[in-house]
Structure 1
Amino acid sequence: MSRPSSLACVPCRRRHLKCDARMPVCSRCLSSNTDCGYVRSRRGLRGNNAAQPIEHGLPLFGGDNSLTDWLNATTLPTDLDPGANFLDSPHTLIDLPSLPDDPLWAPQALTSYDNNSNNNHNNDRNNDGDDSDDIAYDPMIQLYYQNFHPSHPILLPRKALHTPLRRHLPHYLVSLTRYIGAHFYPHPAFQEAYVRAADAARVAPDTDGPFKVQALLLLSIVDHAHGAEDRALLSLHEAISLALEIGMHRASFANAHSRDSSLLAESWRRTYWELFVVDGLMAAMRDQAPFRLYTQPADAGIPCQEIVYNGVQDMQLQHLPPPVHDFYTSSYAARIDAVRTLGRVLEVNRSLEMDLEEQVECVDAALSSLLMHLPSCTSYDTSPEVDEMLFQAKMITYLSQIYLHHPRSTLRFASFQQARSASSSCTRFKTLTPAEAGGAFLRAADHLSNLATLPSAITRRTPFFTCALAMCVVVHTAAFLVVGSGSGGGGGGQEAATAAVSAKRDVLRSRVQLGFGGLNVLGRVWPLAKTVRRQMVEMGREVGL
């Protein structure tokens, strides 16, 4: 006998009737022709370790909640059984939007990627059972779209998984999606269940074209978030090489391989520009890594606005013009512009010219202008959710300011002298006592750390936010040493000077603790953040924080 479901639809719950929680319509509502829908119970599931959801309407830092608890803001139940029956079940405890039928999501012609051959591996791709309507309701896939997709929105929207387009997804890409989604559930068995299938993407045939590019790009991001930096760079290199080989950087590619679907064409455009963004971030976080796509000519269309792509609005997707520095057609365009400016910073820093003052001033002005033209992180959307593209545009711009001013500041870092480890380059810093820190340098770190306080779950930020927070901790720790090494004035001003120094040190200590809190929350999802936090805490202890 099967035990009753812990989830009940609204009509059954209201009438206190037993519900089998079938998706998208339960059996009782189907037989009675009743509108069926699901919402998360306010009580949640009361397992032994069940986490109570935090409502979005609560005031920041209210009650007894600590900063770390607020940053976490988790809404996921923690008592799911990671057994085989659950992994194969479409039932879910996560209340994502329903998937109504819509002509926008049903392209008329669906052909294989390689039009010049019969490619049997492209037909009936999901013969393992994923070729069903239920894939859109798979719990791990929903976790992917709820937590990871907004920060790296290259795959088809979740609504498209409810259409014939899903038949063309390689099952290694579906497994990789589940594997990434499993990071947001606190039971390691889910990750272990999908990791081997996800790794199949590394040896997938190049004839899968843009699908393999997407898989390699996602693997690169996840490898970095696990601290496997060399493997991440290798996956990224392979993804870029394949993308350029098949011509994803060209404007004609998206429509030529769209299968008459504007969604798929948009997905290909997003994939190329995501390569551009990740390539820039990897190059910045690892000094000697080249930014390959910075000098690569490309006329691929700029991605549209997120609310359009994900189908909240019934609008026709269209080719967008390149971004203009004082006007952005989408938040994705602003993110691209931020990475382009980061490329200018890296170019200046790696220049062998002796006199770079004018170039530095020019790039600094471009960064300031970009920040002044960027809207708030929620202004492109009517929902209270943070626009992750704008969030990253600001994160990248503040990082660019730090990278630009650091070589020209008296603030200096030394490397951790570690043996072989699984750490990223963002963990390899340790402060040395400098004479003084540049004001622009420190202000950029202040603004960057403020991004950790935006009112949504920090676990939904890009994994690259780990390195941004680590850089903030390093800068604020160095500034803490600067303030501590300064001497007060003489005579009657000594007491006032000492009080001012103490106040500054308290502010910087709070900034460092904010960074620790953010890393602590990210560490619950990504192993690299846990490693970074441990090393940052050790560094803080060494300097007396």
Structure 2
Amino acid sequence: METFAAAAPQLSAASTHGSPSVSCDSPGTPLLSATTDGRLAQPPAPSSVPAACLACRSKHLKCDGSTPCSRCLSSNTYCEYVASRRGYKGPRRNTAHNPNKRHASSSPPSYVGSAESYTVPMPVLLGQPSASPLAPPCAGSFNTAGMVLQEQSPISYATPSPLNIPLYRSPFASGMDANALALTTALAPDMPSAPTLADRCFEAFYHFFHPGHPFVLPQEFFLRMVKDGSAPNLNVVMAAMRYIGCLYVDGGVTLQNYRDEALRLCYLPSTPKDGFLIQALLILIIGLDGEANQPKARELLADCERLALEIDLNKREFAAMHGRGKPVLEESWRRTWWDLYVCDGMIAGVHRVTKFLLFPIHADVGLPCEEHEYHSGRIPQPAYMEDFEDQAFSGDDREFSSFAYRIAAIRVLGRFMYMPPIMFASDDGINRVEALLSNWRMHLPDSKRDDLSKNCQLDEMMFQAHFIVHACTIMLHQPHSQLDTTPTQAVNSCAAHRPAPSGDMFNAHTRHTITAACEISRMLTQAVPILQHTHFFTCVVTLSSIVHLSKWALYMVVDDCGADSEDDLRQQIRLNIGGLSRMSRVWKGAAVAWQQVRGVAQEIYRGKKAQEITPTFWVGFTQEQMLTSISADEEIMGEFGVNQAGALGGPTQG
């Protein structure tokens, strides 16, 4: 059997132009020759080379000029050449450029030719297996498959994977000239171009916004439909998505351009009145409401609801008729109706200006599936609202999706909003709504009692369901509690102030109100990015802050949580202010609420400090309790001052 051996190509000193001299057509000059007794003859001594690698140069050793050299191959060290600048005096003037002349600043010579005619050697990494320095293949040369180089085992003959290892150093950091830079460019893989602002906005939409309102097609399926061009109205949805994404990536003046373009496309006479237009309008409604442009959001909401009923989006057969035989698209239509339903209820609940118009509308649309099923495209047979409500009596022990519990929570809020006005604390209407809220909580399966999924990821649908129930509890019980809301009348960014009488006979309502407010504050402690929550959480945190501030404004805190209850209350207020501050980086409505809540907290604090001047205030306090209280007051006031100084420039986008 024939045996082949090869060695690294040597740079010939006799080359006139500094190019490597490799003989490919002369069989009489082999790289390795055999003697008459069968032994391999030693290769000739290497001639002088124009440059040495850094490793050999630092050890003052002779380098053979290969890439990589034999010494670096044997020691598995990084082989790198840096052009020598010995004798370089700068470019000469008035001299014609000679392309065949090698200057002192040139890098080691490299092969020039078609990329298909040879393989460029890969640089050797420190601590990685050596790569083979292949010479340009000769015409009719032998096959190099399975070829093993000297001092190298077959296992180590592998090019390191470039996925997680930086193969190339910066050419500017090592002082490479134009020739070396060209070689580095030839070696480097094709790098993708930097994403445009529109691409970044599109990605931000799916990363930040879509988890909170997952009615648009999952990203993979959406891009697939855009590519095949089967839905021409997707450009309207794309325009709305870029507008929302621009809120997160700080598009500057581009934000207004994206918003105007999305609105223009939605109201073009040529735009088809279909489900995709509903999706685009719903995205715009949520964004405009978060930007504190509530009148425009309500205007679009009325148009969106009217259009949804015109095209029968609330009917069961709509998904099948317009799903084009794609289960994931049918699921998207079901989600579009229910998210419009939920957002209508949220806007009515947190702003208390509109009526939950879709609540009395008959809808037999199937309930959405779980989020992981939607994103994977494995859509199960949908259940329906009657299945959910009759579960306790039918004996069906199935577990419904988190989206279904979110819908059930907003339906409780709708029942409360459509009740006649409750004038007295003993009204039976309060007991009926409280029974609905208690039933919702008690019939939750164990997997839905937390805001995290089974793999400890945020379950945004259950997160929203829980804060809807807590907000409904506050709206039900706060007007009949002993918490006077007069000190917080300046907090009106989400809803106008509604005076609530105070008295000593409504302690049960006070307990419900305080408990719900504390649960909302606790939701801020979840180890999840707060900007991935829906912006409606802003108004829920503001509602919780009103309760905390009303309680703090009392002369004595009405709670039996122990001696440290006031300190705990102040920490809750700080937690809410921090959450609003965080959300204000994206949402203007959160920035307004943040400033109002912080301002009321400062006023209450100053009033309490004025009370402390009187000696009677400290009756019953030990010296340690006095020092602790003063220290805590100074800390919280200092934080308010820092927040106020940081807010002078307005909220930053993030």
Listed as ranges, the matches of 1:80-159 within 5 Å are: 86-87=196-197, 138-159=199-220
Is residue 506 from structure 1 mapped to residue 551 from structure 2 by the alignment?
no
After superposition, the Cα gap between the structure-2 partners of 1:426 and 1:379, relative to the gap in structure 1 and judged at 3 Å, is closer
1:290 alignment partner in structure 2: 355
The alpha-carbon deviation at position 337 of structure 1 amounts to: 0.1
The alpha-carbon deviation at position 258 of structure 1 amounts to: 0.9
2:478–2:513: 8 Å Cα contact kept in structure 1? Answer: yes
Listed as ranges, the matches of 1:90-489 within 5 Å are: 138-164=199-225, 167=229, 168=231, 169-205=233-269, 207-311=272-376, 315-322=378-385, 324-325=388-389, 328-348=399-419, 350-351=420-421, 357-374=427-444, 375-376=447-448, 381-414=453-486, 426=494, 428-429=496-497, 434-435=502-503, 438-482=510-554, 484=556
Distance in structure 2 (CA, Å) of the matches to 1:356 and 1:298:
34
The alpha-carbon deviation at position 479 of structure 1 amounts to: 0.8
Distance in structure 1 (CA, Å) of the matches to 2:226 and 2:568:
53
2:350–2:494: 8 Å Cα contact kept in structure 1? Answer: yes
1:377–1:387: 8 Å Cα contact kept in structure 2? Answer: no
Distance in structure 2 (CA, Å) of the matches to 1:424 and 1:183:
23
After superposition, the Cα gap between the structure-2 partners of 1:187 and 1:243, relative to the gap in structure 1 and judged at 3 Å, is closer
Unaligned runs of 5+ in 1: 1-8, 20-30, 39-79, 89-137, 488-496
Please give the per-residue CA displacement for 1:171-210, whole angstroms capped at 9, x wherever unaligned. Answer: 2320210111121224525524522222224414463321
Distance in structure 2 (CA, Å) of the matches to 1:252 and 1:18:
60
2:451–2:460: 8 Å Cα contact kept in structure 1? Answer: no
Distance in structure 2 (CA, Å) of the matches to 1:10 and 1:479:
62
The alpha-carbon deviation at position 538 of structure 1 amounts to: 1.1
Please give the per-residue CA displacement for 1:286-317, whole angstroms capped at 9, x wherever unaligned. Answer: 33421111111110111111111111xx6244
User: Counterpart of 1:321 in structure 2: which amino acid?
Assistant: Y
After superposition, the Cα gap between the structure-2 partners of 1:385 and 1:200, relative to the gap in structure 1 and judged at 3 Å, is farther
User: Counterpart of 2:205 in structure 1: which amino acid?
Assistant: Y
After superposition, the Cα gap between the structure-2 partners of 1:431 and 1:298, relative to the gap in structure 1 and judged at 3 Å, is closer
1:97 alignment partner in structure 2: none
Is residue 16 from structure 1 mapped to residue 172 from structure 2 by the alignment?
no
1:154–1:268: 8 Å Cα contact kept in structure 2? Answer: yes
User: Counterpart of 2:475 in structure 1: which amino acid?
Assistant: Y
After superposition, the Cα gap between the structure-2 partners of 1:412 and 1:216, relative to the gap in structure 1 and judged at 3 Å, is farther
Distance in structure 1 (CA, Å) of the matches to 2:169 and 2:257:
32
2:481–2:502: 8 Å Cα contact kept in structure 1? Answer: no
User: Counterpart of 1:170 in structure 2: which amino acid?
Assistant: L
User: Counterpart of 1:339 in structure 2: which amino acid?
Assistant: I
The alpha-carbon deviation at position 156 of structure 1 amounts to: 0.7
After superposition, the Cα gap between the structure-2 partners of 1:304 and 1:333, relative to the gap in structure 1 and judged at 3 Å, is same
SS of the aligned residue for 2:467 comes to helix
Distance in structure 2 (CA, Å) of the matches to 1:252 and 1:522:
39
SS of the aligned residue for 1:319 comes to coil
Please give the per-residue CA displacement for 1:38-96, whole angstroms capped at 9, x wherever unaligned. Answer: 9xxxxxxxxxxxxxxxxxxxxxxxxxxxxxxxxxxxxxxxxx99xxx7236xxxxxxxx
Number of aligned positions between the proteins = 413
Please give the per-residue CA displacement for 1:141-180, whole angstroms capped at 9, x wherever unaligned. Answer: 1111111001001111101133235531432320210111
Distance in structure 1 (CA, Å) of the matches to 2:191 and 2:525:
33
The alpha-carbon deviation at position 18 of structure 1 amounts to: 8.2
TM-score (norm 2): 0.58
After superposition, the Cα gap between the structure-2 partners of 1:247 and 1:364, relative to the gap in structure 1 and judged at 3 Å, is same
Unaligned runs of 5+ in 2: 1-159, 171-185, 393-397, 607-654
1:434–1:482: 8 Å Cα contact kept in structure 2? Answer: no
Structure whose alpha-carbon radius of gyration is higher: 2
User: Counterpart of 2:409 in structure 1: which amino acid?
Assistant: A
1:12–1:18: 8 Å Cα contact kept in structure 2? Answer: no
Task: Identify the range of structure 1 (529-538 vs 404-413) with the bigger mean alpha-carbon deviation.
Answer: 404-413
The alpha-carbon deviation at position 435 of structure 1 amounts to: 4.3
Q: Which residue of 561, 578, 583 maps to 1:517?
A: 578
Distance in structure 1 (CA, Å) of the matches to 2:245 and 2:449:
24
User: Counterpart of 1:191 in structure 2: which amino acid?
Assistant: L
Distance in structure 2 (CA, Å) of the matches to 1:300 and 1:188:
40
User: Counterpart of 1:344 in structure 2: which amino acid?
Assistant: R
More helix by share: 1
User: Counterpart of 1:270 in structure 2: which amino acid?
Assistant: R
After superposition, the Cα gap between the structure-2 partners of 1:404 and 1:433, relative to the gap in structure 1 and judged at 3 Å, is closer
SS of the aligned residue for 1:14 comes to coil
Q: Which residue of 531, 534, 539 maps to 2:600?
A: 539
Distance in structure 2 (CA, Å) of the matches to 1:292 and 1:363:
19
2:611 alignment partner in structure 1: none
Distance in structure 1 (CA, Å) of the matches to 2:191 and 2:467:
38
SS of the aligned residue for 2:542 comes to helix
Distance in structure 2 (CA, Å) of the matches to 1:380 and 1:484:
37
2:203–2:245: 8 Å Cα contact kept in structure 1? Answer: yes
After superposition, the Cα gap between the structure-2 partners of 1:407 and 1:217, relative to the gap in structure 1 and judged at 3 Å, is same
After superposition, the Cα gap between the structure-2 partners of 1:408 and 1:486, relative to the gap in structure 1 and judged at 3 Å, is closer
Distance in structure 2 (CA, Å) of the matches to 1:367 and 1:390:
15
After superposition, the Cα gap between the structure-2 partners of 1:354 and 1:407, relative to the gap in structure 1 and judged at 3 Å, is closer
Distance in structure 1 (CA, Å) of the matches to 2:453 and 2:421:
40
1:270–1:303: 8 Å Cα contact kept in structure 2? Answer: yes
Distance in structure 2 (CA, Å) of the matches to 1:245 and 1:10:
57
1:172–1:200: 8 Å Cα contact kept in structure 2? Answer: no
Distance in structure 2 (CA, Å) of the matches to 1:475 and 1:354:
20
User: Counterpart of 1:160 in structure 2: which amino acid?
Assistant: F
Please give the per-residue CA displacement for 1:483-502, whole angstroms capped at 9, x wherever unaligned. Answer: 53779xxxxxxxxx9x956x
User: Counterpart of 1:300 in structure 2: which amino acid?
Assistant: V
SS of the aligned residue for 1:292 comes to coil
1:61 alignment partner in structure 2: none
2:216–2:332: 8 Å Cα contact kept in structure 1? Answer: yes
After superposition, the Cα gap between the structure-2 partners of 1:467 and 1:511, relative to the gap in structure 1 and judged at 3 Å, is same
After superposition, the Cα gap between the structure-2 partners of 1:541 and 1:316, relative to the gap in structure 1 and judged at 3 Å, is closer
Distance in structure 1 (CA, Å) of the matches to 2:456 and 2:425:
46
SS of the aligned residue for 1:318 comes to coil
2:480–2:500: 8 Å Cα contact kept in structure 1? Answer: no
The alpha-carbon deviation at position 527 of structure 1 amounts to: 0.8
SS of the aligned residue for 1:264 comes to helix
The alpha-carbon deviation at position 366 of structure 1 amounts to: 1.8
After superposition, the Cα gap between the structure-2 partners of 1:486 and 1:451, relative to the gap in structure 1 and judged at 3 Å, is closer
